[in-house]
Chain A
């Protein structure tokens, strides 16, 4: 591991590179864009990145990084406006925010609730950025010891843990889409012998499924279809009230920040888990640990802070596995990863040697984007009420041509637009049947790593798995894979028992 002095040198050098007027202006503009897109119900944080990724194709790397990370930070926070004012989270990450945010808005404290959400998001991001800066170099040293077995097991672990966490009602559904993602990644020439697999004679499929069109389809097209197929009427709370919280409210907002930020950063670092899971876990932990836990769900600033701190803290956390192991911590991080790969950055342990400054560029950009989010978020609080009135029936169709451009511009190939649509439509059907999308994306990204790792490890061991038994990291990974499968199944059994109990109670004998 490089010395602290070297790291400080890299940090200062990265700081010098980012602190230029044009980049700071770009960060403020992109954060504002992210806030607006994230605030509009139906336009999620992932969709914000899916739509705006094409803007970065012609940018230089540092500008592309600044732009995408700022959109990401802004969009996750932006979801709290609609969660609070109309009880519909602008992005899934803000779903837990609505539980306390909307009751606060109905009490005429909408403005204060939004500011509370912004402050909590800011503090969560800053703490998590520090974790990113200090934890990542240690993980690099572990990642550099990884062999093919560990890469295969890591990819497998990504699917099992992501499936267990994101699977909702059944982890099996999460695992299924994860393995389907693996299968989609098998399409095209294999990485060892360049043998064409599952191409059905199509020349276009020889290069495999392109990541960006698939991601845009899964998160863009499917979202458009879901929003437009439903008719969800909603009421906008027009009275926003005062924007600045008082001393007592500020105390409630800051109380759970440290715990929630650590939870957010930790869940962010779990492959594919994402901001929505971080917010729910933090909210649940806060409700159980707080002395005023009973007030959660009735308009508690503390509850709101738990959710908002964790979902934004998840962003720097999601960068840890992305930069060190080439495994994105969330679907949005997957979009970011696809974009930086296009710019020639190869995430993974070798990044510490090839471009050691990249970690600090990422962390400082997130820092600055968090400040931009704090300032712009508070400035936009009142105008945003008008943005929430935008007609979704006009907005969503306009999104489609933008997704088309995004898919096409990756390789200037019309075939990619068709791939995007197929993934979008499949995503729509699977989402309707309660299948989560995060494992699919993770499977698509990790499929090649799993295939190559598995076969090369067997080649090195001359067909034997015995060498794996002598690798401590590999054995630990096997242990956590088994644990994640067992915990997923236990969660399913527990949920089912609770569900059966509830239906028995609700179907109890009728009384006159």
Chain B
């Protein structure tokens, strides 16, 4: 992919981010206007967020306009086409990021707090390293076990830090 093509694809990303920012900005403005006024509006809790909402919505528009100026608009259809999205989903890098993020989500949102931290950590390390093929399975098990043990012992007993 040429450098210019990459820039244009990033600009398409900017258009999407710009639109999201505009929506966030509008939401913040509405929410701020609904906040309680105690004495005057100038010292109300919503006064500063109101300005932030306006600035964020404005900067979202600027981002979209910048992308428009470098010619990103005609590319939006191409980048968001079914074929291209299929290619993106099947891309090795996308898949790797998705799997690694999913393992992290399971570790943080499901395992931690429901079982002992050491067991949760061991499960996380084994699954991540096996997926990444960091080492063969028995080396992965040994490295994960030693790392878990070291982390737990050093932080809990060495530095007297509570573990989740």
Contacts and interface: CB of A to CB of B under 8 A. Distances in A.
Interface residues of B, number: 66
A393 B134 contact: yes
B38 A193 contact: yes
Contact of A182 (B42, B52, B100, B125): B52
A192 B59 contact: no
B10 interface: yes
A183 B31 CA distance: 12
B105 to A, nearest CB: 7
Contacts of A478: none
A195 B129 contact: no
B162 interface: yes
A326 B162 CA distance: 29
Contact of B56 (A55, A176, A409): A176
A145 B55 CA distance: 29
B64 to A, nearest CB: 11
Contact of B112 (A402, A404, A455, A496): A404
A404 B164 contact: yes
Interface string B121-162: 100110011001111000000010001100100010001111
Interface stretch (A1-9, A34-42, A358-366, A414-422): A414-422
Contact of B55 (A179, A221, A418): A179
Contacts of B124: 397, 400-401
Give the size range of A's interface with the partner: 35 or more
A229 B97 contact: yes
A89 B1 CA distance: 25
A197 B108 CA distance: 26
Contacts of B151: 398, 401-402, 405
B20 to A, nearest CB: 11
Contacts of B31: 198
B107 interface: yes
B89 interface: no
A54 B56 contact: no
Interface in B1-57: 3-4, 7, 10, 13-14, 17, 21, 24, 28, 31, 35-36, 38, 40, 42-49, 51-52, 55-56
Contacts of B47: 454-455, 458
Interface of A is mostly: helix
Nearest to B154: A55
B59 A229 contact: no
B155 A54 contact: yes
Nearest to B121: A401
Interface stretch (A14-22, A167-175, A292-300): A167-175
Interface of B is mostly: helix
Interface string B78-91: 00000000000000
B66 A170 contact: yes
A146 interface: no
Nearest to A424: B104
A192 B148 contact: no
A451 B48 contact: yes
B134 A391 contact: yes
A463 B51 CA distance: 15
Given A197-B45, A198-B31, A397-B125, A409 B112 contact: no
A401 B48 CA distance: 37
A425 interface: yes
Given A186-B48, A397-B124, A57 B159 contact: yes
Contact of B42 (A405, A417, A463): A463
A183 B28 contact: yes
Nearest to B67: A170
Contacts of B105: 421
Interface string A180-196: 10110010001011010
Given A458-B42, A463-B40, A401 B125 contact: yes
B48 to A, nearest CB: 4
Contact of A433 (B10, B43, B162): B10
Given A228-B132, A400-B107, A421-B105, A192 B43 contact: yes
B162 A409 contact: yes
Interface string A452-471: 00111011000100000000
Nearest to B17: A433
A182 B147 CA distance: 38
B48 A454 contact: yes
Interface string A386-405: 00000101100110111011
Interface of B: 3-4, 7, 10, 13-14, 17, 21, 24, 28, 31, 35-36, 38, 40, 42-49, 51-52, 55-56, 59-60, 62-63, 66, 70, 93, 96-97, 100-101, 104-105, 107-109, 112-113, 117, 121, 124-125, 128-129, 132-135, 143, 147-148, 151, 155, 159-164
17 contacts: A58-B160, A175-B59, A176-B59, A176-B63, A179-B59, A182-B52, A190-B45, A193-B38, A193-B45, A198-B31, A229-B100, A391-B135, A394-B135, A404-B164, A414-B112, A417-B164, A458-B43
Given A176-B63, A463-B40, 17 more contacts: A58-B159, A170-B66, A172-B63, A176-B21, A183-B28, A186-B52, A229-B97, A391-B134, A397-B128, A401-B117, A401-B125, A404-B108, A405-B151, A412-B162, A421-B105, A454-B47, A455-B44
* 9 smallest beta-carbon distances between A and B, as pairs: A393-B134, A195-B45, A397-B128, A229-B97, A458-B42, A190-B45, A451-B48, A408-B164, A463-B42
